[in-house]
Structures are given as C-alpha cells and as structure tokens.
Chain A
Amino acid sequence: MPIHEKSLIRPENLETHDALVIDGVDVSGHWSTFIKTRVVSDYNETLQDEIAALPGGEYIHRCWQCGSCTNACTVNEVNPDFNPRYWIYLIRMGMESELLRDKDIVWQCVSCNKCTYACPRDVFPEGVMKATAHWLERKGHTPKSPSTIFDEVFTEQVVATGKIEESRTIRRFFARTKQKLLQDWMIEMVRRMLSGLPIGMLTRMGLATFVAPRTSNWSAASAAIQEYIDEEHEKQTQALSLAELVETAKNDVAA
C-alpha cells in the first residue's frame, strides 16, 4: 500500500455497519467495515522547493524511500510517530495537510546523525528535519520550539562575544521559555556540583557569571556574521513567500 494511504485507515475515515445490504445482498457479518473514498486535492506543489530553500533541506530530492533513516532514528525509538522517512515522502508529494498532523514533534530531532550515517543517498535527513521544523515555524504553523529558542539564545551570545558562558545561556533560555529555573533536579545538581569544590574554583565560576568570557577584537567578526545572518534570513523569507502570506492574512482579517 502506498505509504500515504495509511491516512485513509485512520478512525475518522472508517465506516462500520452492524447490518448492511448492498445491491440487495445482505452482507452483514461478512463485511462490516469500509474506508471512505477520499480524493487528495490539496497538494502544495511548492512544498519540496520551500524545504530545499532552507539550510539542511537541499538534498531532499535524492530520497528513494528506503526507510534507513527511520530505522536508525534515535527519537523514533522513543516515539514511533517520529518518522523522518514518512515526512520526507509527504514533502516530496506536496501533502502539506498530512505533514501538519505531526507539526508539534518534528523539532524533536536530536541531531545524532544516525540517519545521515545510514542514508544510502546522501539526503542528510538530519538537515531535512531541521529545515522542516524551521519551515513549520516560519510559516506560522507552530510557535518557536524550545530547541529553536535555545539555538537563538546561544547564537546571539556567540555573535555578540565570540564565546559561550554556559550559566548565562541557561538562565536566558529559561527566562525566554518562561520556565522556572530552580527545578528540583536542577537544585540537586547544583548542590552536588558545589560539594567538594574548592573556594578558588567557586570564585572563578562566580566571576564568569558576571564577567562574560569574550574573544578580543571580535566586533568586526560580530558585525560581519550578523550581516550575513540577516541576508540569509531575507532570502529565506522570499523563498517561502512570507510577505504574500502576511498580505493574505491581512486581507482575511480586513474581510
């Protein structure tokens, strides 16, 4: 059965009858369950191109659906709905509405690259997962995932100072995702971390939280990186026709 047709046998597409007469023949007890006829017409023919326009998605067209990625996948083992092979199929077929059913879990790819290792076609499925997660966010289908927020907090710090000071990144991430920093396990971890540490070490760590480590003479690099990020962001905005999307939304609101 072609893969996408598994969507036809979801509960909402099944009809079950206790008693059934077809063409004058009572078939009750023989056949009671039918799949509703469904013609797929809501193809998004630009979907594959849009994913390919985002970093990581470039090689999605190479996929021949062997399923090695899903077979090797770390997250699939924890959550069987996490299925890179299936999503790549849906994107290549332009079946956007079917893809959107899984929109809230695509970002959970942990970038272990087991899929990339297993892929015989150099699709780089890990990159495709990232591109798909970003596509969902930029198109407004999902809010920014905690992973994206972490990436942003992290990158902002690297661009600004050249280096990362972990406690600062963690505090900013928890603040931006509106989570409580002092969770039970976090307190326990800090407690165990501090026991046995000499005063000198604690002072050094304490200082790092006030005076961020930085790369010297970084400002020119910082400006060049930010300029490049902004340019690429603009190119992606155009590739995804986001301006038109906003325009359509405005018109809808006005109407």
Chain B
Amino acid sequence: MTTKDKYKKVAYYPGCALEGSGHSYNRSTKAVGKALGLDLVEVKNWNCCGAMEVKNIDPKIQTYLSSRVMSVAANEMDMDVVMAPCNGCYHNLKKAEYDLKNDKESAEVVDRLSQKAGHKTYESGQVETIHALDWIKDTIGEEGLAARVKNSLSGLKIANYYGCMYTRPRHIFPEKDAGPGSESTSKPHFMDDLLAAAGAENVDFPLKTACCGGAHTLSDSDISTKLVLNILKTAKLAGADVIATECPTCHSGLEMHQIRAEKTLGEKVDIKILYFTQLLGMALGLKARKVGVHENISDSIRFLKEKGLG
C-alpha cells in the first residue's frame, strides 16, 4: 500500500486544545478532510498527551499519557496511523514513540502504568503518528489540491509559521531531513507547498520556526508578548497580510499577545492569523463559517470577503 492510500483513513487525535481554544482548527480540519474525501475516525475515549507541562513534573508520565492514546488507536481500533493536527500532541506522540523504542526504562514505566490502568501496553512501531500537514500532502498532494481549488487564494500574502514543536528536537522526527520530498527541520515547507498549490503567495519569512513563548504564555506573559510581537512585526515587514498557523498553542498565543501588545505596550500590528486548514477549506469552496473563522479571536471576516473568500 502506498503512503497515499494508508493515510486515507486515519485515527484522528484532536487533543484538549482543539476542544477549547483551538476549536476552529478542529472544525476546519474535519471540514477539509470531508471536502477531500478523507476519513477521520476519532480515537476512542482519548486522554491528554501531557502537553508542555506534564513533562516538567515527570517526563515518563508524559510518555505514558501519549502511549495510551497510541495504544487505544492500535489495540482497540486496529488503526495503524494516528493523525494529530496539534503540534503539542504530534510532538508528544513522536517523542513517546522515540523513547519507547530507545529507552528501556521508559518502556518499563509505560508497561507498569498500562497494566495498572488496565489496558494493553503500547509497543513502539504499532502506529505511525503524522501531522495534519503530512496527511494532506501525502494523500492529496499539491497537484491534487490545485485541481480541487474552487476559490484561489491568489492575492493573499502569507507568512507560514510552524513554531517549535513541529521540528524540534530533530531526533524524534526520523522521517524529516530524509532526502528529496521530505520535510526540513530547519526550513519547513509543507504548509508553504500546500498553500501555494491553493494559489497563495508565500512571503519569505525568516521566523518560521521561532518560538512564540507558548509554554509561558500565562506564567511569563511579558516575554511571550515580546516574542509574539517580533513574529507579527517580522511577518508584516516581509509583506504578509496573513500568518498561517498549524498549532493551536502558537495560534492562540499569537492572537492573545497581539491584543496584549496593543493593550500593554501600545503596539498594534494589523495582521490576520488563520489556521492553514481554514485557508485550504476556503480555497476548496467552503464558507468562512464552515471552517470556524468566526471562532478565531482575530477578526478576519471582512478581510477575507474583500479577497473574495469564505
């Protein structure tokens, strides 16, 4: 079976953020999947992957939490691919996979906790974890996407922002930096490729993998605001109207600190922030509401109307 076929039906792991602040990412991911004829089966009775916090209490608990999600997908649903649109979930499942394969102690702790919790222990290699970007890129691809575009994104200037957890640390992503066609950890381009296929003009944006300070968005807000402001201003200087995101923590961090910079530093940067799935959905002819644009904090409805989208 080729990659394309294998990813056509995947276990879908939305994660906690996509049921809260990142709901528009959840809505738009599902809508895009439906429009493209891809099948998402939500992981049954899933739990939190551990996000960015649990590892600071104990890294092996984070490994266990992520392994349980993969165990459910593999052992209770008989799925071999888990797709996680959230960078945090995607990163943690990848990290758990790496640790379970390479660190005996982690595997022992996970086995002990799984037995006590009463479910099958996840064995490394049972599932492959992919991001929503891999999912669309490998099933539909740029050509397939271009052929399905009903409302071209032409005229939209986009800065593609990938954040930290999609590429770092590199050892947990063995499939990246692996020759032609693979994703790059230093200059990721999958989102650029997809949006370009949908007609957008991607600007040259040097802060693709800069940090938005998401881990300390509330506990050290001043640093987060500075980091976000830098990202917003650089995108604007690069000529972008829109920052495309692929992570709910980055996305809400950008939206939140855009407002905080305005309120506490008097610095207003007028740039729209949209999930790449929202942009792709509208390119596929979906209404703005269908892809949850009204659920975003940053208001881009009028801007999109002017561009003939949504």
Asked if B20 and A208 sit within 8 Å, CB to CB, the answer is yes
Q: Does A70 contact B (CB under 8 A)?
A: no
A221/B297 contact (C-beta < 8 A), A55-B59, A117-B170, A166-B21 known: no
Asked if A165 and B20 sit within 8 Å, CB to CB, the answer is yes
A112/B51 contact (C-beta < 8 A), A147-B220, A166-B21 known: no
Asked if B220 and A158 sit within 8 Å, CB to CB, the answer is no
Q: How far is the CB of A140 from chain B (nearest CB, A)?
A: 19
Q: How far is the CB of A59 from chain B (nearest CB, A)?
A: 12
Which A residues, 202 to 238, have Cβ-Cβ distances below 8 Å to chain B?
Answer: 205, 208, 213, 215-218, 220-221, 223-225, 227-229, 232
Asked if B219 and A145 sit within 8 Å, CB to CB, the answer is yes
B94-105 interface code vs A (CB 8 A; 1 in, 0 out): 000000000000
A175-213 interface code vs B (CB 8 A; 1 in, 0 out): 001000000110011001101111001000100100001
Q: Does A68 contact B (CB under 8 A)?
A: no
Residues of B within 8 A of A114 (CB): 164, 168, 211
Asked if B48 and A150 sit within 8 Å, CB to CB, the answer is no
Interchain CA distance A238-B67 in the complex, whole Å: 29
Which A residues, 22 to 63, have Cβ-Cβ distances below 8 Å to chain B?
Answer: 55-56
Q: Does B3 contact A (CB under 8 A)?
A: no
A113/B168 contact (C-beta < 8 A), A164-B16, A229-B58 known: yes
A146-167 interface code vs B (CB 8 A; 1 in, 0 out): 1111111011001000111111
Q: Does B259 contact A (CB under 8 A)?
A: yes
* Among candidates B50, B113, B299, residue contacting A192 with C-beta atoms closer than 8 Å: B299
Q: Does A71 contact B (CB under 8 A)?
A: no
* Among candidates A78, A147, A155, A189, residue contacting B219 with C-beta atoms closer than 8 Å: A147
Interchain CA distance A116-B169 in the complex, whole Å: 6
Residues of A within 8 A of B214 (CB): 110
Asked if B116 and A220 sit within 8 Å, CB to CB, the answer is yes
A185/B263 contact (C-beta < 8 A), A111-B52, A151-B53, A166-B16 known: yes
Interchain CA distance A55-B218 in the complex, whole Å: 23
Which B residues, 245 to 262, have Cβ-Cβ distances below 8 Å to chain A?
Answer: 255-256, 259-260, 262
Asked if A188 and B263 sit within 8 Å, CB to CB, the answer is yes
Interchain CA distance A188-B298 in the complex, whole Å: 11
A152/B57 contact (C-beta < 8 A), A74-B210, A196-B299 known: yes
* Among candidates A162, A189, A192, A196, residue contacting B48 with C-beta atoms closer than 8 Å: A162
A215/B45 contact (C-beta < 8 A), A55-B59, A108-B216, A197-B295 known: yes
Asked if A198 and B16 sit within 8 Å, CB to CB, the answer is no
Asked if B45 and A217 sit within 8 Å, CB to CB, the answer is yes
Residues of A within 8 A of B20 (CB): 164-167, 205, 208
Asked if B294 and A198 sit within 8 Å, CB to CB, the answer is yes
Q: Is the interface of B mostly helix, strand, loop or mixed?
A: helix
Residues of B within 8 A of A196 (CB): 294, 299, 301
Residues of B within 8 A of A167 (CB): 20
Q: Does B73 contact A (CB under 8 A)?
A: no
Number of B positions contacting A (CB below 8 A): 64
Q: Does A173 contact B (CB under 8 A)?
A: yes
Q: Does B227 contact A (CB under 8 A)?
A: yes
Asked if A117 and B213 sit within 8 Å, CB to CB, the answer is no
Q: How far is the CB of B114 from chain A (nearest CB, A)?
A: 9
Number of A positions contacting B (CB below 8 A): 66
* Among candidates B56, B109, B210, B224, residue contacting A151 with C-beta atoms closer than 8 Å: B56
Q: Does A130 contact B (CB under 8 A)?
A: yes
Asked if A189 and B256 sit within 8 Å, CB to CB, the answer is yes
Asked if B226 and A189 sit within 8 Å, CB to CB, the answer is no
Asked if B57 and A150 sit within 8 Å, CB to CB, the answer is no
Q: Does B126 contact A (CB under 8 A)?
A: no
Q: Does A170 contact B (CB under 8 A)?
A: yes
Q: How far is the CB of A205 from chain B (nearest CB, A)?
A: 8
Q: Does A75 contact B (CB under 8 A)?
A: yes
Q: How far is the CB of B274 from chain A (nearest CB, A)?
A: 14
* New contact pairs (15) apart from A113-B165, A164-B20, A185-B263, CB-CB < 8 Å: A55-B58, A74-B213, A110-B213, A110-B224, A111-B164, A116-B168, A164-B51, A166-B16, A173-B218, A197-B294, A215-B46, A215-B47, A217-B45, A224-B112, A229-B57
| Between-chain CB contacts (< 8 Å), 24 pairs | A55-B60, A108-B216, A110-B211, A110-B227, A112-B168, A113-B168, A114-B168, A124-B169, A127-B59, A147-B215, A151-B56, A151-B57, A155-B57, A158-B47, A158-B50, A166-B20, A185-B264, A189-B259, A195-B299, A197-B294, A213-B16, A220-B116, A221-B47, A223-B116
B residues near A, CB below 8 A?
16-17, 19-21, 23, 45-48, 50-61, 64-65, 68, 109, 112-113, 116-118, 164-165, 167-170, 185, 210-211, 213-216, 218-220, 223-224, 226-227, 255-256, 259-260, 262-264, 294-295, 297-299, 301
A residues near B, CB below 8 A?
55-56, 74-75, 78-79, 108, 110-114, 116-117, 124, 127, 130, 134, 145-152, 154-155, 158, 162-167, 170, 173-174, 177, 184-185, 188-189, 192-193, 195-198, 201, 205, 208, 213, 215-218, 220-221, 223-225, 227-229, 232
